Chain A
Amino acid sequence: MIATLPRLHAVTDDRVVGAGRVVQRAAAMAAAAGAALAVHVRTRTLEGTALLDLARRVKDAIAPHGSWLVVNDRADVARAAGAQAIVTGRSGLGVRDVRRVAPGIPVARSVHDAASARAAAAEEADFLLAGAVFETPSHPHAPAGGPDLVRAAAGDGGARQVIAIGGMTTANARGIIEAGAWGVAAIRALWDAPDPAQAARAFLAALPVTRTVALVVNGESRAVSEGTTLAGLLAQLGLDPRAVVVEHNRRIVRRDALGEVRLAAGDAVELIHFVGGG
């Protein structure tokens, strides 16, 4: 889990980029939302140099406010632009290949159901963009998964960090967060607003507070979102519960109870296995 992952994602598409003033609108939203905002540069209409130029200008405009630049599909452009994350689409490169191109940058995967969410977690995606949650003009024929899609993508006990996308509005955001999403992504509701900064502010106000919980796992500080269970923590770490013994605040937790123990601030978790010894 990335404790600093922004909760509001302003995603561009060909139409938004074609309409121009992307940098100005991104800067206005960044000024309003700061570190809670990620701006996604996503368009098929621009080739390498022009796309990199746009990504760099967005980055320069939003970075002073602490907002993230996220580049979709083009790992090379993301790396060159200094993006904070990369989203790889359904038919895009695998997470491992993206990491090879752009080492050290968090990678998200677009997913559309529980199976693709599990597959993305298996390839160790850092977070997921799950959609379409609601009907949206940008994908008119895609079935809307609703809160169930978010629940399935997030998995039991908050195993996966999910940003919900597709038809998101200030009106429906709360229910989606309550279903287990970390944050929301929008195209029209932000970029088409007469005042994008005001729209970003309204979105953030609509998101219920999701607190993170600071833990110590095997002596290292880590954060998980509130409500995460021990089973969810193991899933986030990519650990098979059958190969681990779990101690929670000095008490051993049996495998079948891992899904029942929710983590709280200051908890100490030890994850143990057998190594060579005499």
Chain B
Amino acid sequence: MATMADAATAQDAPLEIGGRSFHSRLLVGTGKYKDNATMVRALEASGAEIVTVAVRRISLDRTKEEGILYHLDPAHFFLLANTAGCYTAEDAMRYARLAREAGFNDFIKLEVIGDQQTLLPDVAGLLEAAKALAREGFKVMAYTNDDLITALRLEDAGCAAVMPLASPIGSGLGLLNPFNIRTIKARLKVPVIVDAGVGTASDACATMEQGVDGILMNTALAEARDPVAMAHAMRLATEAGRAAYLAGRMPRREVAVPSSPTRGMLS
């Protein structure tokens, strides 16, 4: 559909990560949907090019149903494998190598989780795995805290993108610390993709207004009452937030300034 957002994004540069170029700044996950048909329709409605997948054991009883590639056309989407569920650098590296062997690309969304309750990252393990994988030629996109110093270290480690969280995975709490996200974006040269925590369209829009390069979400779509309609909303919100950032917002003031002329009033 031709929206105002399309007109604005047409002037935007493509999103470049690890030498690849993407037009959509919205990245989406494929987990937790109530069925695969809904997932596929939501992905289409989101306009996302990059979709994340997880690496898991094949179930030896009923293999043909649960593999995501029976539902997703890998020629149509850029598959970004994650290391979700890994709690050590060693595990995350093992999962990353298995994912690369599937033969689609050498990108990995690196997660090293430090705590089961919050799913917050273990930044020591994350840095260790990021360094090793970057050396092995991986294009590492590292899921991390909204912490500038860790983000800088990840960039130094050779990450292709740094992915600070808006709020904890699956929480839907939205963007908790816009200042931290802006700070990270201002200091890094590699793309900054905010990953995790958005709940609804205004969260996505506010996140993109900070000037980040993209946003990744899963639960906000999968757990919406209507995931396909929410995917559409998130697409518009991502484009709107990006367009507003590019447009440059007016300054904030503590006093009112009239919008109508003060001169020419009746005496």
Contacts and interface: CB of A to CB of B under 8 A. Distances in A.
Interface of A: 217-220, 237-239, 243-245, 247, 250, 252, 254, 270-278
Given A237-B63, A271-B58, A277-B82, 7 more contacts: A218-B57, A245-B101, A270-B57, A271-B57, A274-B55, A276-B29, A276-B53
Given A218-B57, A277-B54, A272 B82 contact: no
B67 interface: yes
A275 B53 contact: yes
A274 B99 CA distance: 8
B97 A273 contact: no
B207 interface: no
A274 B68 contact: yes
B166 to A, nearest CB: 13
Interface in B3-32: 29-32
Contacts of A276: 29-33, 36, 39, 53-54, 68
A243 B56 contact: no
B69 A274 contact: yes
Contacts of B55: 272-275, 277
B81 interface: yes
A275 B102 contact: no
Contacts of A273: 55-56, 58, 63, 67-69, 102
Q: Specify the main secondary structure of chain B where it touches its partner.
A: mixed
B58 A244 contact: yes
Instruction: Pick from A250, A270, A272 the residue with the most CB of B within 10 Å.
Output: A272
Given A218-B57, A218-B60, A275 B67 contact: yes
Interface in B47-73: 52-58, 60, 63, 66-69
Q: Which of B36, B53, B101, B169 has the most CB of A within 10 A?
A: B101
Contacts of A217: 60
B69 A243 contact: yes
B246 interface: no
B84 interface: yes
Contacts of B216: 278
B224 interface: no
Contact of B31 (A243, A245, A270, A278): A278
Contacts of A243: 67, 69
B57 A278 contact: no
Contact of A278 (B32, B67, B94, B101): B32
Contact of B218 (A218, A254, A278): A278
21 contacts: A218-B57, A218-B60, A219-B57, A245-B99, A247-B98, A252-B101, A272-B55, A273-B58, A273-B102, A274-B56, A274-B68, A274-B69, A274-B81, A275-B54, A275-B68, A276-B30, A276-B53, A277-B218, A278-B29, A278-B82, A278-B218
Contact of A239 (B58, B69, B98, B101): B58
A170 B130 CA distance: 62
B60 A278 contact: no
A123 to B, nearest CB: 14
A133 B53 CA distance: 49
A274 B57 contact: no
A270 B60 CA distance: 11
A272 B66 CA distance: 12
Interface string B211-222: 000001111000
A222 B249 CA distance: 63
B92 interface: no
B237 interface: no
Given A244-B58, A245-B98, A245-B102, A275 B52 contact: no
Kindly list the 6 A-B residue pairs having the minimum CB-CB distance in the complex, ordered from nearest: A277-B54, A278-B29, A278-B218, A276-B30, A274-B53, A276-B31
Contact of B60 (A220, A254, A275): A220
Residue of A245, A270, A272, A274 ringed by the most chain B CB atoms within 10 A: A274
B79 interface: yes
Nearest to B57: A218
B201 to A, nearest CB: 18
A217 to B, nearest CB: 7
B175 to A, nearest CB: 17
A270 B81 CA distance: 17
Contacts of A254: 101
A162 to B, nearest CB: 22
Contacts of A252: 97-98, 101
